[in-house]
Amino acid sequence: LAKTTQPISMDSYEGQEVNITCSHNNIATNDYITWYQQFPSQGPRFIIQGYKTKVTNEVASLFIPADRKSSTLSLPRVSLSDTAVYYCLVGDSTGGFKTIFGAGTRLFVKA
């Protein structure tokens, strides 16, 4: 299972773009990269998932370079409500895709 490394915390201001990078040097060929968001007193919520290049949805973008050893979650124009913990996970679907959450990145958005 590929281990992930993320910054422990990040600060930003409302309206800014936030980029959170995750390192996963041992990613396997079958592995996908998934990001979750967790607010206090709630369970994690799926944000975005990708395999390579760029994926975009209504919430975020995910950039994955060609070597796939890292990935960057991009949150455009953050607001105070984006203050949360963001988790990067790497895993595949074979054998029931085991899920390992790291400590995540605590994002603080200030007014």
Partner 1 sequence: EAGVAQSPRYKIIEKRQSVAFWCNPISGHATLYWYQQILGQGPKLLIQFQNNGVVDDSQLPKDRFSAERLKGVDSTLKIQPAKLEDSAVYLCASSSRTSGYNEQFFGPGTRLTVL
Q: Rule CB under 8 A: which residues touch partner 1? A: 32, 34, 41-46, 49, 85, 87, 89, 91-93, 95-104
Output 13 or 108, the one with its CB closest to partner 1.
Answer: 108
- For the bound state, the minimum distance from the C-beta of residue 15 to partner 1, rounded and expressed in Å, comes to 28
Output 81 or 96, the one with its CB closest to partner 1.
Answer: 96
Q: From residue 42, how far is each of 20, 38, 54, 64, 94 by CA, in Å?
A: 21, 6, 28, 28, 28
Output 79 or 99, the one with its CB closest to partner 1.
Answer: 99
Of 15, 18, 10, 30, nearest in space to 77 by CA: 15
Are 102 and 24 a contacting pair, CB within 8 Å? no
